[in-house]
């Protein structure tokens, strides 16, 4: 049976990263791991093929050999401190402000969190541009943000232009367009390892921000009551969750990422474990067996 492409992640360390991705998924690094980019053709952090005849090839080059376009970025995130409050542009804004063709719509699936963990998504109170900027100067921005307690299994879509952040104590899977454009709005006055204040991007942020209040329909919960669940479809990517308890045979007409978020088993007769991400080209036969929770991502 043909091997499905397995990807080797690109690991990023930041001042808010921790050790949990090492213990949960066996990622190895001498530094903390804030993000593990498990599927990326982005020049800021490329993943590589980890098996078969293409082993060692950059994932982006592999896509070119198949003449495939799969402009998505998949990563695990672990926060031992609050992330900066930020916003991403849409495609049009990314081109005009950064000269890049792709903006960043993103989706979060909460894998684990502390009891008091929360996310900020959108505004809780109406606010003008001038009041917004003043709230940052006065360290009052959080008073205007929509704060949502989160639990394992929660998932949320974050459209471009939506202010957002997460608290410490959260581990999640993030699926987004293939963009690393982030406009940092507020960072709790933290400083980097050299003692410098982290850069803010307020001029660009105010050009892309949606100042409307949060749409509560964007946050949902996966109760694992169904073997399959369509988590999201926004025109940029589709996300589905599978519960695997016995052997299943699958085939997709479109390229599909296979993210093992919990458990273990075999994929096309080769062992898999939590934290691994695979890439299936169109019309490839895929057989999964074991006990696992799997997230499928396609376009």
91-142 per-position pLDDT tens digit: 999 999 999 999 999 999 999 999 999 999 999 988 899 999 999 999 999 9
- In whole angstroms, what is the distance from residue 125 CA to residue 230 CA? 31
Half-sphere exposure of 208 (CA within 13 A, CB side): 32
Q: Which residue has the tokens 């900020």?
A: 120
Helix (H, G, I), strand (E, B) or coil at 168: coil
Distance, in Å, from the CA atom of 234 to the CA atom of 212, rounded to the nearest integer, reads 19
Single pTM value for the model:
0.96
The proportion of the chain whose per-residue pLDDT surpasses 90, expressed as a percent, equals: 89
Active site residues: 184
Same domain, 37 and 181: yes
CB of 154 closer than 8 Å to CB of 107: no
Q: Cα(173)–Cα(166) distance, rounded to whole angstroms?
A: 13
116 and 94 housed in the same domain: yes
- Claim to verify: residue 181 and residue 233 sit in the same structural domain: no
Residue 65 CA to residue 67 CA, distance in Å, equals 6
Average pLDDT on 41-68 reads: 96
Same domain, 47 and 124: yes
Same-domain status, 31 and 70: yes
Q: What's the pLDDT band for 1 if we cut at 50, 70, 90?
A: low
Last residue of a domain, one of 221, 242, 260: 221
Same domain assignment for residues 59 and 191? yes
When divided into structural domains, the chain yields a total of 2
Range of the domain at 144: 5-221
The CATH code of the domain that includes 206 is: 2.60.120.10
């Amino acid at each position: 049976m043909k091997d499905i492409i397995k990807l080797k992640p690109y690991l990023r360390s930041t001042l808010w990263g921790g050790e949990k991705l090492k213990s949960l998924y066996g990622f190895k690094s001498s530094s903390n791991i804030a993000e593990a980019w498990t599927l990326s053709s982005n020049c800021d952090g490329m993943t590589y093929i980890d098996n078969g005849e293409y082993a060692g090839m950059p994932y982006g080059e592999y896509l070119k050999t198949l003449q495939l376009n799969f402009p998505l970025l998949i990563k695990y995130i672990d926060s031992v401190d609050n992330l900066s409050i930020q916003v991403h542009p849409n495609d049009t804004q990314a081109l005009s402000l950064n000269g890049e063709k792709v903006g960043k719509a993103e989706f979060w699936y909460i894998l684990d969190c502390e009891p008091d963990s929360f996310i900020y998504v959108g505004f809780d109170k109406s606010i003008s541009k001038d009041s917004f900027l003043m709230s940052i100067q006065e360290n009052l921005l959080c008073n205007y943000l929509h704060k949502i307690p989160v639990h394992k299994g929660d998932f949320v879509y974050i459209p471009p232009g939506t202010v957002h952040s997460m608290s410490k104590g959260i581990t999640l899977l993030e699926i987004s367009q293939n963009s690393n454009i982030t406009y940092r709005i507020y960072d709790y006055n933290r400083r980097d390892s050299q003692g410098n204040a982290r850069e803010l991007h307020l001029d660009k942020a105010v050009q892309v921000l949606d100042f409307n209040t949060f749409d509560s329909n964007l946050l949902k919960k996966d109760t694992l009551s169904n073997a399959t669940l369509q988590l999201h479809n926004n025109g940029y990517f589709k996300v589905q969750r599978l519960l695997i308890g016995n052997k299943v045979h699958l085939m997709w007409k479109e390229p599909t990422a296979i993210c093992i978020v919990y458990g273990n088993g075999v994929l096309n007769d080769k062992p898999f474990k939590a934290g691994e991400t695979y890439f299936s080209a169109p019309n490839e036969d895929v057989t999964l067996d074991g006990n696992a929770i799997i997230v499928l991502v396609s376009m």
